[in-house]
């Protein structure tokens, strides 16, 4: 199954899977689902701008591609760790900006 077959999801030119045109990636919703143990309903309570249908589509994609999504989450965490370890002299705000920039890559 590919994202183009699921309603509410699309891939960008970098192959990231996004939820409609909301600004949320499937990996972001999956990360919150895993980190907080949030159900689809809890995700919706915390992100009322997403419909339950959009959240269920994202979770369906996650479970259909679980290992690839988990690998991406792990790589993003390692990249963030490298940023924080590489330049302790920068302000926290600058380091967070760099981390966010690497997340969008």
Domain count, the chain: 2
Same domain, 87 and 71: yes
Same domain, 28 and 41: yes
82 — pLDDT class (breaks 50, 70, 90):
confident
Same domain, 47 and 2: yes
Same domain, 14 and 32: yes
Same domain, 49 and 84: no
Structural domain including 87 reads: 66-105
**pTM, entire model:** 0.72
Q: What are the tens digits of pLDDT across the range 48-61?
A: 999 999 999 999 99
Burial class (CB in 10 A: 0-12, 13-18, 19+), 92: exposed
Same domain, 46 and 91: no
């Amino acid at each position: 199954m590919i994202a183009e077959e699921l309603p509410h999801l699309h891939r960008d030119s970098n192959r990231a899977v996004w939820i409609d045109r909301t600004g949320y990636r499937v990996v972001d919703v999956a990360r919150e689902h895993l980190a907080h143990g949030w159900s689809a309903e809890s995700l919706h309570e915390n992100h009322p701008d997403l419909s339950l249908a959009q959240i269920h589509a994202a979770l369906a994609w996650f479970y259909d591609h679980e290992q690839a999504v988990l690998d991406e989450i792990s790589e993003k965490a390692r990249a963030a760790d490298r940023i924080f370890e590489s330049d302790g002299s920068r302000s926290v705000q600058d380091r967070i900006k760099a981390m966010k920039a690497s997340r969008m890559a």
